[in-house]
Chains A and B, each alone.
Chain A
Amino acid sequence: MLPFCRWLEQTSLGAGVRESLWLFPAIETLHLLGMAALVGTTAVFDFRLLGWMLRRERVSELAGRLLPWSWAGFAVQVVTGALLFTSEAVKVYTNPAFRVKMLLIFLAGVHALIFHSSIYRNVASWDDSGVLPAGAKVAGFVSILLWIGIVAAGRFIGFV
């Protein structure tokens, strides 16, 4: 992986982002906006699962309205994150906070998969209720913790 990182940051794309006056902060800006869309919509859904918010909204309807924004945000994060990575690939690849962040993103993905293939399959039976089954609440709580961890680990890349 390190030889690949070394090659990546030598490409004209990597050097361009690394040595640009305004492109780097512009990409960071987009990365923040993508985070707002992704983490914001994810948190709203998690808060609904916990019964902290929008209790009169059907869970399935809320999922249908929020999830496209979560995915759009995720797509922005992958593209802008890859560009930022390219500019300092070796440094970031060996950074412990970056590794924690990637691990937590992986876990958040696994968590979402498990949620959708288990608890969420019975959504019809609790779609309307304000107080949801314990499994749904736990899923919402775990998701919030994971996303707080991802944001914190991302911020810490520059400081460890």
Chain B
Amino acid sequence: MNRKARAVLLVGLLLGVPSLWAHHGNAPFDMTHTVRMQGTVRDFQWINPHALIHADLKDEKGKVANWRLELGSLGMLSRFGWTRNTVKRGDQVTAEGFRAKDGSAYMCLVSIDLPNGQSMRGSP
């Protein structure tokens, strides 16, 4: 096989690797606009690689669902002033974020308004 044919084959192999194509971090979310919803926190998970909040939120049609709010990494959240106790079960919050494109009750949290009036940044 000559040098050119080998180079073509190698590039072809690399193009075949889906991970080089398919993903960048925010692909599952509709980043064109945010949604804002109010509700009650059910669970806050201070975990790697992304912290999670589960909350019963009411959408614009008045429908309440158990939403999964994905936050940034623990290191980033610490820099934004978060600790594992920033959000607690039962907290009344307003969440703002990017909805999942697939329409499920899942969002990338941009910010959250806490019961004490503080607004916290949720992801980079």
B74 close to A (CB within 8 Å) = yes
B117 close to A (CB within 8 Å) = no
A19 x B46 contact (CB < 8 A): yes
Q: Please judge, given known A-B contacts A52-B6, A159-B23, whether A19 and B47 are in contact too, CB under 8 Å.
A: yes
* Size band of the interface chain B makes with A: 10 to 19
Chain A residues near B (Cβ < 8 Å): 17-22, 24-25, 51-52, 87-88, 144, 148, 151-152, 155-156, 158-159
Nearest CB on A from B76, distance (A)? 10
Q: For B19, what are the chain A residues with a Cβ–Cβ distance below 8 Å?
A: 151-152, 155-156
Give the A-B pair count, Cβ closer than 8 A: 41
Chain B residues near A (Cβ < 8 Å): 1, 6, 13, 16-19, 22-23, 46-49, 73-75, 78, 84
Q: For B1, what are the chain A residues with a Cβ–Cβ distance below 8 Å?
A: 51-52
B49 x A21 contact (CB < 8 A): no
Of B22, B23, B49, B73, most A-chain CB atoms within 10 Å: B49
Q: For B78, what are the chain A residues with a Cβ–Cβ distance below 8 Å?
A: 21
B74 x A20 contact (CB < 8 A): yes
A151 CA / B14 CA spacing, docked (Å): 12
For A159, give the chain B residue with the smallest CB separation: B23
Q: For B49, what are the chain A residues with a Cβ–Cβ distance below 8 Å?
A: 24, 158
Q: For A88, what are the chain B residues with a Cβ–Cβ distance below 8 Å?
A: 47-48
For B77, give the chain A residue with the smallest CB separation: A21
Q: For A22, what are the chain B residues with a Cβ–Cβ distance below 8 Å?
A: 75
